[in-house]
Amino acid sequence: MRLRRQRSPKNRIARWLSHTFLPHKRNHHRPWILHPHGLAMVAIVVVAIHISLALVLHFPIFPNVLGESDNITPTAVLEQINIERQENNLAPLQWNDQLSLAAQQKGQDMLQRGYWAHTSPSGEEPWDFIAESGYTYSVAGENLARNFHSTEMMLSAWMASPTHRANIVHTKYADTGIAVLKGTMNGKPTTLVVQLFGTPEDSAVANAPELPQQAYAATQVMVNSAANNASNVLGAQLELTPVHFYRAGILTVLAILLGVLTYDMLNAQNKKLKRNVGKNLAHIILLIAVITTVLLAESGSLL
């Protein structure tokens, strides 16, 4: 007669954890999570975390989660811009309400029509918005940024881009208008920063012959840098958002996988196990690289 011993729920959980994460005879000395089925399950968990975030963002539980841009304000942008200009021995830019209105209208147009470009789908240029606001300019420029988490981070990116930097430290600009807008663009939470530069038509600084009439930063640059993260930490208060929880979740999954791989590698080494499986060392190299990427990646873009 064959007897089957009843296990308590506690024992079952312990057995499942051991089977999933630790190498032993029952899993052929390879934790189940490292078997093909286990890796597929990890992929499902990663997708589930992603879908959870998408749902949280679609049905916001937390207020102010879109774009996490509470750290970016027009005043802070102006202050930082003027610090950069002072460091370059240039006069500070003056706040201009008409340019700010034009920046606001340009940003709203981008969000409503879902385009990420200096020129709208119907061909409207930044200068059209400036003209509509009633500001008559002799020189004008535009810098755009989206989905940055702090003013410092955004400024670092602008200053690292030659075309955006050229606008910021342009000798002939006298006025600026800045708008920070939150919304959704093509279904994604988006924070837009629109900065317009200008010099009034009758201004003395506008009479240099080499000046371009209109200038905007025409290159699109993705920003993912450790330096930008550092400036974020230094310059802004930390606000926890679903995106932070998402990254923490993904990093936890990767850290568990890394721990299991390392333990399995050391265990196989100590017990001198001969197994025909993938190289744990190679998996660890790849995982460390991916963890580094997830930690350092801070997406935001310029235009």
Partner 1 sequence: MIWKEIKNHPTDYLILVSGVVVSIGLFLSPYITLATKYLLSLFLGFFYAAWGIWHHRQKKSLSVRVALEYVLMGMLMSLVIWLTLEY
User: Which residues sit at the interface with partner 1, rule CB under 8 A?
Assistant: 34-36, 39-40, 42-43, 46-47, 50, 53, 157, 160-161, 188, 220-226, 243, 246-247, 250, 254, 265, 269, 276-279, 281-283, 285-287, 289-290, 292-294, 296-297, 299, 301
Are the C-beta atoms of 226 and 296 separated by less than 8 Å? yes
Are the C-beta atoms of 80 and 152 separated by less than 8 Å? yes
For residue 261, the tally of other CB atoms under 10 A from its CB is 21
Using the minimum distance from each CB to partner 1, give the nearer residue, 38 or 126.
38
Using the minimum distance from each CB to partner 1, give the nearer residue, 132 or 239.
239
Assign 57 to helix, strand or coil: helix
Strands 175-185 and 94-95: parallel
User: C-beta of 111: minimal distance to partner 1 in Å?
Assistant: 18
User: C-beta of 245: minimal distance to partner 1 in Å?
Assistant: 11
User: C-beta of 160: minimal distance to partner 1 in Å?
Assistant: 6
Using the minimum distance from each CB to partner 1, give the nearer residue, 90 or 160.
160
DSSP 3-state percent helix, strand, coil across the chain (nearest 5): 50, 15, 35
User: C-beta of 184: minimal distance to partner 1 in Å?
Assistant: 13
What single DSSP character describes residue 108? H
Using the minimum distance from each CB to partner 1, give the nearer residue, 30 or 172.
30
Using the minimum distance from each CB to partner 1, give the nearer residue, 3 or 289.
289
Query: Of 303, 159, 142, nearest to 231 (Cα)?
Result: 159
